[in-house]
Amino acid sequence: MSDINTAPGKLAKTLTPAQVWALALGSIVGWGCFVLPGDMFLPQAGPLAAVLGFFIGAFLLLFVAVVYGYMIEYVPVAGGEYAYAYSGFGPTCAFVCGWALVLGYVVIIAINISALALLVRFLFPGVFEFGELYTIVGWKVYFGEVLLMYAATLFFGIMNYCGINIAGVIQIILAFALSGGVLVLFGGVLSTESTHLSNLAPLFAEHRPPLLSILSILAIAPFLFVGFDTVPQAAEEFSFPHSKSRNIMLAAILWGAVLYSLVTLSVALLVPYPEMLARMDVLRAQGQTAWATGEVCNIVFGRLGSVVLAVSVLGAVCTGINGFYVATTRLLLSMARGSILPKWFAEIHPRFQSPHKAIVFTIGIVLLTPWCGRAVVGWIVDMSSVGTAIAYLFTCLAAWRMFRHTPNISNKAGKILVCAVGVLTSLICIALLLLPMSPAFIGLAPRIIMLVWIVLGFLFYRATSPEWGRIPERELRARIMGRPDIPVFFGKK
């Protein structure tokens, strides 16, 4: 029996460190960096609480990223958390972990695709708003915007189909465009006469205590920084030593926190931000597009602001789409190797060395989402934060088990401590999202969707477990982890 590294049709090892960093950063800084400052960060937390929440969340997730670095070196295959959960807890927990992630990954592609509709409504009002179809939760669905989102979905899907090297090169270009656009935006705000520190008052949300304001941002840190875990999903395609992946993820998380902070402060500094939020409320009441970041760009740069905004948001949206195409399809590939999904998903294109059938499936699912409206897709994103935190938890617990049961490891106590902080971070995020008294308690619609997804997962588990339950453990280990001789730690006390 051959392992995945010697089997025909293996994934191409072409990704460079710069491409992987751009993959992580672009997946971290997506549409939310530009839409949420006026919609969530400032109304629910305030400027200081938001910035503190970004950096506290980033600091805690650095520990999780270090643990991911350990596991990438131990199991350098596609699938990331799914493979790590298998190594620590066996196939059932691997299924739970993979099921928790797969919908979240797909829907992050969808929410970034739908952000294109918001962008063109602001930049080119009325151009794509033809063929009104219906309204879902206040969001009008237009046939013109559906066509635009279809084009973007197909473009990035086909690019990934043709091989990850092309996607990696495009990702670097887009990541620099994203970063450059944010820096220009913040610099423009600082050079404007109306900009003053007094505009940041009140520093915390008026309707809740400072601590709860910070916690409301901290709780969604798994969603804000979720992109760094695209790195382990692509680990099988690195053209460099896997030991470098840790620093790549750390750098992406920290720079992501900086970009989130700069955009949020740009919205808050130009004029007293309560006035900006009130202006957005008026626009919403009039049925117009309310976008605080776009308003700031227009005030600072005039029509040139549209160009600055377009560069930044297109960079963020497109890198997010590209990054999560990679993450989604590699997760589907790994789950198919473990026989949780049909083998069809695990097939590698003989020429492009990409999981082409997993990519085709992902394209098909994402093409359904433009018909749902941004609000419905947003509900699933809220739910996906829970799934992401569950994946972090499984990874940190699996690493803890690995270190505990592996002799002769240098700095064993320190590594176990890092895993413990990662576990605690994951549990805090899950609790903040699911406990009713929490300021970040997810809404009723996301909870209903989460319950439906759990029920579907249970039914799918009952349907597929007899098949993969018959596979000998060493063969299943070779399929999921790459080799049958890599130790696993489930069944040990």
* pLDDT above 80 for 31: no
Average pLDDT of the chain? 87
Output the pLDDT for position 7. Answer: 41
What is the rounded CA–CA span in Å between residue 456 and residue 95? 13
pLDDT band per the 50, 70, 90 thresholds, residue 270: very high
Whether 308 shows a pLDDT value over 80: the answer reads no
Tell me how crowded residue 443 is: count the other CB atoms within 10 A of its CB.
12
Q: Is the pLDDT reported for residue 32 higher than 90?
A: no
Residue range 214-226, pLDDT digits in tens: 988 887 777 788 7
Distance from C-alpha of 20 to C-alpha of 41, rounded to nearest angstrom: 28
| Region 135-148 average pLDDT | 86
Whether pLDDT at 380 is above 60: yes
Give me the pLDDT at residue 361, please.
92
pLDDT more than 90, % of the chain: 41
Q: Which residues pair with 44 in a beta bridge?
A: none
Percent with pLDDT over 70 in the chain: 95
**Site of tokens 């992630």:** 101
> For residue 262, is pLDDT > 50?
yes
User: Mind listing the pLDDT tens digit for each residue in 168-200?
Assistant: 888 888 888 889 889 989 999 999 999 999 999
40-54, 248-262, 338-352: least confidently modelled range? 338-352
Please state the pTM of the whole predicted model: 0.88
Residue 381's pLDDT band, with cuts at 50, 70 and 90, is: low
Q: Provide the pLDDT for residue 4.
A: 44
Do 23 and 166 contact (CB within 8 A), yes or no? no
Rounded CA-CA distance 481/79 in Å is 9
| Per-residue pLDDT band at 256 (split at 50, 70, 90) | very high
Domains and CATH numbers, the chain: 17-467 (1.20.1740.10)
Kindly report which listed range (15-24, 216-225, 322-331, 443-452) carries the lowest average pLDDT score: 216-225
As a whole number, mean pLDDT of residues 105-120 equals 81
Is the predicted pLDDT of residue 339 greater than 80, yes or no? Answer: yes
pLDDT of amino acid 377 = 64
Which is more confidently placed, 475 or 125?
Answer: 475
pLDDT tops 60 at residue 9: no
**375 band by pLDDT with thresholds 50, 70 and 90:** low
> Quick one: pLDDT band at residue 1, thresholds 50, 70, 90?
very low
Better pLDDT: 106 or 9: 106
